[in-house]
Structure 1
Amino acid sequence: MTDRTALVTGASSGIGEATARALAARGHIVYAAARRTDRLQELAADGIRPLGMDVTDDESVRAGVERIITETGRIDVLVNNAGYGSYGAIEDVPLDEARRQFEVNVFGAARLTQLVLPHMRSRRSGTIVNISSMGGKIHTPMGGWYHATKFAMEALSDCLRLETASHGIDVVVIEPGGIATEWGGIAADHLREVSGSGAYAAFATSVATALSSETNRRRNSPPEVVADAIVKAVAARRPRTRYAVGFGARPLIFAKWLLPDRVFDALVTRAIGARS
């Protein structure tokens, strides 16, 4: 794996940072991309190359890919990790915010994939890793727009896998469960702001409390669990199409597959102590 080049988006913290470190430890030349390069300085000190990139800005994405090709001549691994969780009742969330959620979580990853694919095809090899979520297979209250983006990433990844297989390119979906990052607190704050008053206030408060609770923070898995799964997928001759990792991912995805919808609804509602 020495001298293979990897691009990791959303690398300033959490899963992205852990993944950049893990790939670098395996000998990759790693470009760690984020909007704020000041948050990448610790990675730079360890030999990882910081890259300013806003995945919703086409010029920024193009410039980033061009820089990597100019400096290394190749992109072997793309990890589409940039994203965030915009929580709020569907009735309350402004459509501009819903569109922004899709711009970051779906269209940003799709555009970067479009720009990277020609370089992978020319070498007839490459791995695209799309960070979805167990939220791409299950549903929870107040997360409608977030879940919609992750369901979309699941479908796009499946179609992309079929399209690129004959070109020697693997497409892998990672479905993290509960991970100890800033994600839960940010989602909870946004939820309180959007739906903390009005018709859904009680429900929103319960969900926000569950998202940011100390109990959740203690039981969630470290981001290195996800990074290890990504490294495993990248190193595999024939990687699995999906890796469900982290707290709750496998049992909840299985429960969603097994249970009738209304039974799963009741299970999720009780689990978060929500009340409508």
Structure 2
Amino acid sequence: MGQSNSTPKNSSPPPTPPPPPAGTAVSSLDGLRNASQWVLSSTNKALGVLGGAIVSVAKPVVASIPVPGRKGSSLPPAPPPSLSSQMVTWIRKNAGKTLLGTLLLGVAVVAGSIAYKSGKAYHRELKKLRVVRGADGSKREVIVITNGASIEGMVLALDLDNRGFIVFVCVPDSSRADEILSWKRADIHPVIVPDLSNETLTGSIESLDVEAWRSCMDANVTGTIQAIQQFLPLLKRTLSLRRPRRSPRLILVTSTITGNIGLPYQSATCASQHAILSIADSLRREVQHWGIDVVCLKKGIFTTGGSRSDKSNKTVDNKPEQPGLACWRVSPLEMLKSMFKQPSTSEALCEATFDVVIATRPETSRAVGFGSLAYSFVGWIAPNRVLDWSIRRTSMARHSSLAINTTAAETF
């Protein structure tokens, strides 16, 4: 067997020989071999003593450092995670549940909206039953529209006829009367009232003729007062009737934008609309003890398309179609689309007028139609400087556009 230079697995290293006594010279070969081990052993011992000293000094210093959340620490504890971060963490961990919940919420919103539209149509049909009719089903309740020359007056007359009222429409001339007669509605009767003006006067206060001012005020203010004076005695006589069990009422329709905000170059119209609002408040307080109601409907921007009668004069088998019945034939998809479509001002005005007529205790004023609430709020609370700045910017933009168009026309 040959000799092996490998060290046995379980053999321990040879013990370090003790250092030579102090003052003893190292002269032998063994002493030279063990000199490095003596130096290393002395260094390790010194380092151990130094480390223990450092630990003994640093331990109380570290213990005195304030740590958030440690008992007796002067620092406040770390804040808990925010609700948004907790939600984000939960959504990441539960992606499937989040997707399923979102789908169920969407289905619930769609189903709820369709149910709301169906319920609204159902209540609209129920409200029509509150219109008083005779024993033979004939119409009994009468409504007079004094401003039938306007487009909204025409639409309102057609709508009230469909809802079961006898409607008298005041028009300025025979041509408008012939137009109403061409509808072939047996319960819509035109009444010619001369000098019924529906023109909107525009112009600066400096340049607007006084006669134009007088004409506007006569048509909007004086005409309103004359109509009230003519109808009040008739309304007082209806108080003795047992049916309908609703108080007689006057409905005044104004514009929210011209009635709440004084617009430039429309001073005459704005002044007349402001006057009608004041007349409605004064009249309501004068006649309330008689049991007569006065309601002011403040409409927004009126927009329409087509003729005056093509939207409300639809017939089926030569019979007028009741607008409330059509909703039951609409598919759920169409009802879903209608959720995101706001009614026009004409539709809102017709609905508000009908609600006011059949209500037992109608509200004193109501904003109806597109932009009515916004204009009412802005005209009431917005500072005048903000309104002046907004109108000035709008006027400057309009004048710039007109100047560009005029220049282009002159070029060609």
**Which residue, 46, 62, 67 being the options, matches 2:185?**
46
Structure 1 residue 94 displacement after superposition: 0.3
Match of 2:252 in 1: 130
Look up the SS of the partner of 1:178 in the other structure: coil
- Corresponding letter in the other structure for 2:185: D
Match of 1:175 in 2: 298
CA distance in structure 1 between the partners assigned to 2:279 and 2:371 by the alignment: 24
CA distance in structure 2 between the partners assigned to 1:158 and 1:130 by the alignment: 11
Match of 2:155 in 1: 18
CA distance in structure 1 between the partners assigned to 2:171 and 2:343 by the alignment: 24
Give aligned-pair identity as a percent: 29
CA distance in structure 2 between the partners assigned to 1:168 and 1:84 by the alignment: 34
CA distance in structure 1 between the partners assigned to 2:345 and 2:363 by the alignment: 22
Could you state the TM-score of these two structures normalised by the residue count of structure 2?
0.49
Aligned residues: 215
CA distance in structure 2 between the partners assigned to 1:84 and 1:236 by the alignment: 32
The question of 1:165 aligning with 2:288 is answered yes
Q: Which has the larger radius of gyration?
A: 2
Residue 269 of structure 1 contacts residue 275 of structure 1 at CA under 8 Å; is this kept in 2?
Answer: no
- 1:40-95 residue CA offsets vs partner (Å, 9 max, x unmatched): 34533112111111366xxxxxxxxxxxxxxxxxxxxxxxxx74321110111101
The question of 1:110 aligning with 2:225 is answered yes
Moved over 6 A (4+): none
Pairing 1:1-276 to 2, within 5 Å after superposition: 1-2=131-132, 3-44=140-181, 45-47=184-186, 48-54=188-194, 83-124=198-239, 125-134=247-256, 135-180=258-303, 221-271=344-394, 273-274=397-398
Structure 1 residue 181 displacement after superposition: 5.5
CA distance in structure 2 between the partners assigned to 1:112 and 1:19 by the alignment: 18
Q: Which runs of 5 or more residues in structure 2 are unaligned? A: 1-130, 133-139, 240-246, 306-341, 401-412
- Corresponding letter in the other structure for 1:46: R
- 1:104-123 residue CA offsets vs partner (Å, 9 max, x unmatched): 01101110110110110122
CA distance in structure 2 between the partners assigned to 1:35 and 1:231 by the alignment: 25
Structure 1 residue 245 displacement after superposition: 1.7
CA distance in structure 1 between the partners assigned to 2:346 and 2:174 by the alignment: 20
Residue 345 of structure 2 contacts residue 370 of structure 2 at CA under 8 Å; is this kept in 1?
Answer: no
Structure 1 residue 235 displacement after superposition: 1.5
Look up the SS of the partner of 2:216 in the other structure: helix
Q: Which runs of 5 or more residues in structure 1 are unaligned? A: 57-81, 183-218
Greater strand share, structure number: 1
- Corresponding letter in the other structure for 2:263: T
Could you state the TM-score of these two structures normalised by the residue count of structure 1?
0.71
Look up the SS of the partner of 1:132 in the other structure: strand
CA distance in structure 2 between the partners assigned to 1:261 and 1:270 by the alignment: 14
